[in-house]
Each structure stands twice: as structure tokens, then as C-alpha cells.
Amino acid sequence: MTNNKAMKGSDITIKCLENEGVETIFAYPGGFSLELHQSIQDSKIRVILPRHEQGGAFAACGYARATGKAGACMATSGPGATNLLTGIADAYMDSIPLVCVTGQVPSSMIGKNVFQETDIIGMTRPIVKHSYLVLSAKDLPRIFKEAFHLAVSGRPGPVVVDIPKNVQQEMVEVDFNPKLEFNSYKAKFKLKKSDITELKKMIKASKRPCIYAGGGIITAEASEELRKFAESYNIPVVTTLMGVGSFPENNPLSLKWLGMHGTVYGNNAANECDLLLAFGARFDDRVTGNPANFAVGSKIVHVDIDKSEINKNKIADLGIIADIKEVLTALNKEPIRQAYKAWHAQINDWKEEFPMMYKEKLGSVQPQYVMEKLCEMTNGEAIIVPGVGQHQMWAAQYYDYTFPRQLLTSGGLGAMGFGLPAAMGAKVARPDKLVINIDGDGSFQMNIQELGTLHAEEINVKMIILNNQHLGMVAQWEDRFYGSKRGNTVMKNKRVDRPYPDFVTIASGYAIPGREVYKREDLESAIKDMLETEGPYILDIHTGYEEHVLPMIPPGKDYKSIINE
């Protein structure tokens, strides 16, 4: 339907966001997005002002990860837009739907190096599904309809819409119901009956099958179908880090997750099976090490919505380009159940011989113990949003995940500074859920300013810092592979006679309460305080630097080189 009344481009933009169901946008204003911010004041869309554009981009990612809907963020041109880049790259690497709106200098000035001009289209081209430079306000309804469709369909990802200031100010009549027209983009592929027949034949011939489930299961909302498939076919399941929660870890068939810091038994099963069913996973290097040495001797079935992933890192015996939910639904109609007694017995032996464990140190507040106690005291029901580093791995290893979108983590990009703002976005998206940010002292400081957003917007995120005064994961690599020679990985200030900085004091400056923990016996009461205090709360737990994340497969090595102590 054509709007018979002329509207400003900025008003059209906000109307388009409303039409796409946007309820919340994380937006930081500036000179070349000022018109958009003026227009959005008359909208029902909730505008959350982050304290840094990167925080806004990560928050939008957290929102999207928690819901499956496209997250939305907005920034001005130049430095505002460039500050979004890390969040956009994070969404691209993990297939997260994101629509980023950026202001731009007037179109007549593009290419003249005027104040706060950057080519954000060129800068983001390698890390988006698509990008648009809007040259006429008449195109806005079509562009936004396409942008949101592209972001959430097929393999999801980020889309950038760059709007020059003159287009924001342009007065035009528009049609808010344009047709979607793509020359080559196909979001879905038709499932072939012959593929299901061949896949079932391979399962029937198998003696040692293993399901390798990735984040595609969660994206496709196929977790229930995966559970039914695994149970009815009696096949064990190992997930990727991005697939954590796609299969309940308290299920007897669960092998938790595999890869560099995954379980020994999960890695063994994936490598020593005779049939590896890769569902919505991409054979990334943190799972496979050297792909040539991964799952040697196994028949491989690879199901993915993205054609480019098939045979990219590992040659598949059967590649199926399809929606994994459709594939699992078809497989579940007539399940093939076999006992696999010897195989399950072997897996149980591995579980008994190589459990996920650590050596307890009396009195020490070990990070693994923190996660175990947190899981116990939250009944395993919290949404956990870690930063990146050792704490991220411990959060994934020692909390039991039972539902999809429960662990929200920066996987492919591994971006420090992700945790706090992403938890903020997740809590906005899921106010009914307990959302806990698990961070390290290094990662937390990268976006610490978002404490201000938590307080100002009354976003009830709980924060736990596993504080070891190091850039822990890098220091662990130094310990293991560089003779413990420190290359700028110690965060402690030698001139200060206590852990540095004082996070609880910093939080109090943002009017957020908190507490420090130094002793193991104080942990339970501190977690209780955190959980029972209304609003955001920070728990700074001083773990010391003694622990390494284990198990660990050295980079480039295979599962037989795994380090357990």
C-alpha cells in the first residue's frame, strides 16, 4: 500500500523497523544519525543507549542469540560505524541475524573525505551477508524488508544499511508493502527423498555411529527433533561449543562438547566412530585440529543449509544441502534402532576413565568449583553469557546445559569484551530468565562502561568475574608452549598491594552493588547475595592464577595428543 502523504526518510526508516517487528534497538547517536534519533522518539521501539557502539553491537548479538530474531543496532557515520565492526564480525562468524543501521555523510559528499566519513560498506563487505548504501528514501521500505529477510533466512548473518543524511531528510511518498525480489538468493533447498534413503542405509550399516551437532541445530529450532532422533536411533551426541544446549547434557547419550577443550570421551567418539553425522556444524579448526587427522576412517554425512560448507574443510561421503529440521523430521518418521552394545560400552569406559574433573585445592576458590556451585544454586536453569578466555571454557565445561540458547558465547571470532554487553542484550530479550555474565578480569574491562547502561536502563544482569590478574588463556599458552615467558599477559599492578582494579568500587560508581570473594567457604553466601539482590550485581571472585583449562588439544594436533594434566 502506498503512503499518500510525504514522509521524511528518517521517519520512513523507523516505520520500516516497526513493520519488521523491532521492539528494541541499541543505538548511539551522532551528527549523521541525529535525524534517525529524532524520529525514533515518536516510536514505540525501545531505544537502549549503550556507552560504546561496540557494546551496542554485542548487545544486539546477545538479543539475537537469546531469541533467534534479528538484533538491531544503530550508530552514526565514521567512528560510530567503525566501532560496530567487531560486533558485526562476531555475528558473521557465528551466523547470528543482525541488522545494523548507520548514518552516513550526505551522498553528494561521499568519497571526498569529509568530516566523519568512512566507507562502511567497503569495510564490512567481508563480514556481512549483504550491505546497502541507500541513495533514495523511496527505496527504504524495500531495502529494510530485504535486509531483515536476508538476516534471518537460510544461514543467518548480519546486514548493514547505510543511510546518508540527505536521504534521512528527503521527503517522499512510499509503498510500505514492496515485493521481495532477489535475482539469485535462495534461502532454502528442497530436501531430496533419495538423500534420506541413502542416509538411513548408512546408519543401518554402521556399528559405531556418532552425531556431531553444531549451532545450526539451534538456529533451525531443531533441538527437539535432534533429541527424538538420538533417542529413537540410540546414537550418542557430541556438540560443538556453538551447539551446546542443542542436546540436553543430562541425557545418557550426551558426550557434552568436543574440540580443543572438549571432553576426552566426546573427542574419542567423534574420531573413532565409523559414521559421523555432522548436523549443522562446519568442521572448524577448534574441533578438528588438522582436518586430515580428524575422524580418519569414518564415513561422514554432512548436513548444512549453506552449500559452501559442504566439502570445504572435510570431504563428506554424503553431503546434504537442506534445513536440518526437515532432515531430522524425515528421519524420525521411521527410526532404525540398533543396540550398539559394544560401542556404548566403549563410550562408558571412556567416560569412567576420563571424566571432566580437576584437582581440588583446599581453601582455593577454583574457577571450576565456582561454576559447579553456580549450576547447583541456579538449578542449572540460568542463561550463561561468558566473555572470551579461560573463564569461557570453564563456564562451558562445568555448568550443565539442558536447553537451546542457554550458553551464549562468541565462538568463531572469540571476541574479548563480548560477555557483559551480550548478557545485557540477552536479558532485555528474555526478562523472564536469570542471565549471568561470566567474565575474566581482562575481558570484562574491554566493555566495562556498559555497567552504566545496566543501571540506567534497569537491566538485571548478574556478573561474575573469575579474577586471576592475567590474560589467562594467553598465559596458559605461554606456560604450555613458550616456557612460561610472559609477553604482556599479567594484569596485576605491581604498585598496588591488592588485586587491580577494584571492580566492586568501580561498580559502586555506577550505583551497582557487589562483593569480593577470596575464600572457598565464602562462595556460597556470596552467590546467594547476588541471586537475591534486586537489579544488577557484580561478584568479583579472586581465583588466583594456578589453573589451566583442561583437557587441551594443542593447536594443530589431533585428539591423540590431548593434555589432561
Q: Quick one: 270 and 151 in the same domain?
A: no
CATH code where residue 281 lies: 3.40.50.1220
Residue 108 belongs to some domain of the structure: yes
Q: Quick one: 256 and 297 in the same domain?
A: yes
In whole angstroms, what is the distance from residue 553 CA to residue 46 CA?
A: 45
309, 330, 353 - which closes a domain: 353
Residue type at position 375: C
CATH code where residue 157 lies: 3.40.50.970
**Pair 346, 499: CB distance under 8 Å:** no
Ranges of residues in the chain with a pLDDT under 70 are: 1-4
Q: Quick one: 343 and 419 in the same domain?
A: no
Residue 338 belongs to some domain of the structure: yes
Residue 330 belongs to some domain of the structure: yes
Residue 114: beta bridge partners? Answer: none
Would strands 171-172 and 7-8 be described as parallel, antiparallel, or unpaired? antiparallel
Q: Quick one: 203 and 163 in the same domain?
A: no
Q: Quick one: 152 and 249 in the same domain?
A: no
Domain interval for residue 216: 193-353
Residue 557 belongs to some domain of the structure: no
In whole angstroms, what is the distance from residue 24 CA to residue 34 CA?
A: 18
Q: How far is CA 253 from CA 276, 343, 400, 410, in A?
A: 15, 12, 14, 26
Q: Quick one: 340 and 382 in the same domain?
A: no
Residue 516 belongs to some domain of the structure: yes
Residue 238: beta bridge partners? Answer: 212
Query: Which is nearest to 285 in space by CA: 557, 530, 9?
Result: 557
Annotated catalytic residues are 53, 115-116, 165, 473
324, 353, 382 - which closes a domain: 353
Reported pTM? 0.97
pLDDT of residue 2: 59
Residue 278: beta bridge partners? Answer: 212, 302
In whole angstroms, what is the distance from residue 67 CA to residue 63 CA?
A: 6
pLDDT of residue 180: 84
**Pair 374, 399: CB distance under 8 Å:** yes
Question: What is the chain's percent helix, strand, coil content, to nearest 5?
Answer: 40, 15, 45
In which residue are the cell numbers 561498580 written?
Answer: 507
Residue 136 belongs to some domain of the structure: yes
Cα dihedral across residues 66, 419, 37, 118: positive or negative: negative
**Pair 145, 157: CB distance under 8 Å:** no
Q: Quick one: 345 and 381 in the same domain?
A: no
295, 320, 353 - which closes a domain: 353
Q: Quick one: 509 and 413 in the same domain?
A: yes
Residue 103 belongs to some domain of the structure: yes
Q: Quick one: 153 and 198 in the same domain?
A: no
Q: Quick one: 303 and 345 in the same domain?
A: yes
Residue 360 belongs to some domain of the structure: no
Q: Quick one: 148 and 214 in the same domain?
A: no
**Pair 512, 458: CB distance under 8 Å:** no
- Under DSSP, is residue 241 helix (H, G, I), strand (E, B) or coil? coil
pLDDT of residue 182: 82
Q: Quick one: 73 and 123 in the same domain?
A: yes
- Tell me how many domains the chain contains: 3
